[in-house]
Amino acid sequence: MPRAKKTEDAAVEVKATAAAPAEEKKAAEKKAPAKKAAAKKPAAKKAPAKKAAAPKAAAEERKVVIQYNGGEIAGTDLVDKAKADAGIKTAKSVVVYVRPEINKVYYVIDDNTFGNFDLF
């Protein structure tokens, strides 16, 4: 394939590209003294703007109801019964296992308190 000839436009572009960094440097030098003068002035302190409290999203309602053999009990009631059975008012974690076929509920509170009670 024959090589493309250089045109005057290409030569002008090369010269313009070489001249561009020099022009940018001169422009930067002109702007630098203005920045230094501005840096000498102390910035006025402003009080931070108070942000309005974001409205809380409505909490998701969760409800578990266990129905078996004509009986019914809510999941929150099982957790409350487990804490009452163990004699604990507050807990970090409560895990409840329901075995309706044998009418038993087993619980583990804070990984160290175990027990069970009748489901219905």
Cβ-contact 81, 96 below 8 angstroms: no
The pLDDT score that the predictor gives to residue 22 is: 55
- pLDDT tens sequence across 26-53: 555 555 555 555 556 666 666 666 666 6
- pLDDT tens sequence across 51-61: 666 667 778 88
Extended beta strands in the chain, E state: 65-68, 71-74, 94-99, 104-109, 113-118
Considering the entire predicted model, what is its pTM? 0.50
The pLDDT of 54-75, averaged and rounded, is 87
